[in-house]
Structure 1
Amino acid sequence: MPKIPENTEELTDYILDDVLYGLELDPVDSERLLSYMRHRHEHLFGPHSTYFVLGSYEPPFKYRLDEALDVLNHRHDAYAYLLATQPDLDVSDDIPNLKVKFFIHALYADSIPLILEHDTGGAVAEFGRIERPTLLDRTYLFPRAQEEHYEDESLLTTEDAIRARAVELAYHADDLTEELSTLADQARDHGLDISTQDLESYLDTELGGRTPSYSGVITDSLVHLESLDQCFSWTTTAELEEQLSNVP
């Protein structure tokens, strides 16, 4: 397994050979890259535990990233952060700034939690990157509603449970409108005043109007992470907070 670079010279070689695939850096870019790595190392990679949190920055999904940051930063001597909060590299336009910046941080974070709620956008690109051998053993994946925890009708006795089931249906139902109508009937059977329209409005707010799904490529990779005990499904924000306890 390729080892993590131990010094700036090794890291420069890694960035060139494994990230930029041999692209040559001019002396100015090389010096700026080294300067960035030195400053980031001093700021991030001290005696504390670092958590490089990945996921979608789109609303409302960014809300779950903020919750994860809050949970992890409450740990003793911990620093959880997003890539967007870190300074950008000051390099030439022909250098993929964001890609290099990602790997500089990912290579030295103690853990990399990735919160996944859909299969489009930047989070999917990050998912592809963290499957590299140098990163995989520190990556912990948190896909939303990959598993269905609220299928049992006996659990649907509270408003929170009904809403959680609605989220699961948004990911799994073939006919969501019909399934939400049935769910609303089940809610009323338990004395809850929840209509189909209430559930549709909740999903619109919770999922940003998106019909969420995971492609076959994504689900295949989820199986890989599951086999390594590094994949943890969640439905509600409270469940996500609990599942983050699996990140060492």
Structure 2
Amino acid sequence: MESVNDALQGLELEPHETSEILGFANRELPHLHTPEDSYFILGSYRDPYLRRLRIVQNELDKRLGTYPFLMADLPELDIDRLPVFRIRFTLLAAHADTIVAVYEQDAGGEVTELGKISTTPYFDKSYVLPRDYAWMTEQNLATEADVIAAAATIYFNDDLDEAATEEELDSLIAAVNQNDISLTPPDVIDRLEDREDSEQAPVSYSWVHLNEFRLFELHGRCYAWSSRDDLRNVVDEIP
């Protein structure tokens, strides 16, 4: 209960609240104390974003000896007085082996989660998977996913006419070809047009989000993606 006490800043609990929290812990935490590698998957539970969380869960579940889970699949705490999200998150995050967070927007509860996992004690075991993220410097366009993410901000930009879009894409491709990435403008356009309708518009993140993603990137734990296939591929990079 020490982690719960920290999450609630030392707030004194009523007896029935303690009982409810202990009941949740006794039901759910034993799953995280087995030889299996546990993965706590974070992100938006709204449709269509939930579909991408299920992709991550399914890919991790294909591995032998893993237990990937979403908080949305676990029972709620029946406590009206307390901030139950903080309690459930803290218990699960403290005991999970790895935290995997998927981002596709700069609003919603994911903002709070990002703030939590980017600090001690969760940072060292957390990985972020932001769609269409690219720290826009040439040396950071190191993978095809980076290039597609950068290209999306150009291709779907309504402020650019057709000629300007073509010029910007050509410039981007010329730069990344120097990084030994063999893509052509038609290749990139095909990849972008193959996105789901709900994925068409590129994600525009706040400067706060970009800085947090950059921190994870510098530590080798940020994997950008642009399509469902990209997402499946980057999950393979998570230990």
> Which interval holds the TM-score relative to the shorter structure?
0.7 to 0.9
Partners in 2 of 1:13 and 1:176 — Cα distance?
51
Contact 1:173 1:179 in 2 (8 A): no
215, 231, 237: which one aligns with 1:224: 215
146, 153, 176: which one aligns with 2:133: 146
Q: 1:125 to 1:110 in 2, by over 3 A?
A: same
Contact 1:88 1:98 in 2 (8 A): no
Aligned-residue CA RMSD (Å): 3.2
Task: Give CA deviations for 1:133-181 in whole Å, capped at 9, x if unaligned.
Answer: 11111100111111399x9xxxxxxxxx9xx95x655545694363678
Map 1:1-248 → 2, pairs under 5 A: 12-16=1-5, 18-91=6-79, 93-147=80-134, 165=148, 168-171=150-153, 175-176=157-158, 178=160, 182=165, 205-207=197-199, 212-248=203-239
Partners in 2 of 1:211 and 1:23 — Cα distance?
42
| Matched residue, 2:141 | none
Contact 1:146 1:233 in 2 (8 A): yes
SS of residue paired to 2:13: coil
TM-score by length of 1: 0.74
Partners in 2 of 1:219 and 1:94 — Cα distance?
35
Unaligned segments of structure 2, at least 5 residues = 139-143, 171-184
| Matched residue, 2:177 | none
Note the C-alpha offset of 1:231: 0.8
Partners in 2 of 1:59 and 1:85 — Cα distance?
15
Note the C-alpha offset of 1:44: 3.6
Contact 1:49 1:79 in 2 (8 A): yes
Identity of aligned residues (%): 28
Q: 1:19 to 1:241 in 2, by over 3 A?
A: same
Contact 2:38 2:68 in 1 (8 A): yes
Note the C-alpha offset of 1:206: 2.4
Contact 2:195 2:227 in 1 (8 A): no
SS of residue paired to 1:238: helix
| Matched residue, 1:158 | none
Note the C-alpha offset of 1:36: 1.6
Partners in 2 of 1:239 and 1:203 — Cα distance?
11
AA aligned to 1:51 is: Y
SS of residue paired to 1:53: strand
Q: Structure 1 residue runs of 4+, over 6 Å off? A: none
Note the C-alpha offset of 1:41: 1.9
User: What is the aligned residue count?
Assistant: 212
Unaligned segments of structure 1, at least 5 residues = 1-11, 152-160
AA aligned to 1:176 is: D
Q: 1:210 to 1:21 in 2, by over 3 A?
A: farther
Task: Give CA deviations for 1:72-112 in whole Å, capped at 9, x if unaligned.
Answer: 00000111111100111222x11111221111111111111
